Amino acid sequence: MLSKHQTLVKGRFPLKVVFRWSYRCLLVFVTVSILLVMGFRWAAPPLSSYMLLRYIQSAWMAQEKESVLFRYTWVPYDAISPHMALAVVAGEDQRFPAHWGFDFRAIQQVLEDKAQGKALRGASTISQQVAKNLFLWHGRSLLRKALEAWFTVLLELLWPKQRILEVYLNIIELGEQTFGVEAASRRFFNKSAQQLRPEEAALLAAVLPNPLYYRVNTPSAYVRERQSWILRQMRQLGGIDYLDEL
């Protein structure tokens, strides 16, 4: 028969095992995520987690023997028109050069709008969108949000701003199964991303963040209005010189 002391020790032992394995799993996760982020600082991602999920989704919904065509061509930052880089910053995250991954002013504005019952708008920065699209999945769970915050911090610590923007421009979806500005430019304008004019760049940026609803090739009145707004913002930011801060 076990003594009281032996019973307590035996009862605590499984808890120690749980803590020990939890610590090891956390250490492995932290190490792998840091190595992954560091690796993609220089290597071009062959695809993103969002691309993979979209491919699986499209293949699942496709008819038998119907092929699923994905357009994705990686190009370096210097092969992308600076007007395109400025357009996404103007349309999605104007404080991108200055913040450290989170736009707290935008978050505060969203909270104020929610309190007043106004329509909510996204406050995700370009860094957060890269973290989500490259490594994670879309959703509103606390786990996904926590992982997004972790990867956003890593991106800001381990990548220069220009690299974050470069990856963003290459992995964003800009049309049905069309990822990155090079593939989108070839598809919609029959030219390379390096040749995009300000109006074309603003039109591509105008369909974000819902390119499956808003269309570049058949822009609605809302998309045209947003295109004009982005062009005004590009001028007010000072043109492509604004990106010299990166």
Is 37 in contact with 151 (CB distance < 8 Å)? Answer: yes
Q: Which of 193, 195, 202 is nearest to 223 (CA)?
A: 202
> What is the rounded CA–CA span in Å between residue 148 and residue 123?
13
> Is the pTM higher than 0.85?
yes
> What is the rounded CA–CA span in Å between residue 4 and residue 6?
5
Is 151 in contact with 33 (CB distance < 8 Å)? Answer: yes
Distance, first Cα to last Cα, the chain: 70
> What is the rounded CA–CA span in Å between residue 139 and residue 154?
20
The CATH architecture of the domain made up of 40-245 is Orthogonal Bundle (1.10)
Pairing label, strands 173-175, 178-179:
antiparallel
Sheet strand arrangement including 178-179? 71-72, 178-179, 173-175
List beta partners, residue 173. Answer: 179
Per-residue pLDDT of the chain (246 residues; tens, 9 = 90+): 445 444 444 445 578 887 888 888 999 999 999 999 999 999 999 999 999 998 888 777 765 445 667 899 999 999 999 999 999 999 999 999 999 999 888 777 767 666 666 555 567 899 999 999 999 988 888 999 999 999 999 999 999 999 999 999 999 999 988 999 999 999 999 999 999 999 999 999 999 989 989 999 999 999 999 999 999 999 999 999 999 878
Kindly provide the residue ranges of all beta strands, DSSP E only, lying in the chain, ordered along the sequence.
Answer: 71-72, 173-175, 178-179
Helix or strand run (H / E) with residue 32: helix 4-39
For residue 27, give Cα distances in angstroms to 23, 33, 228.
6, 10, 48
Residue 138 exposure: Cα atoms within 13 Å on the Cβ side: 12
Report pLDDT for 181: 98
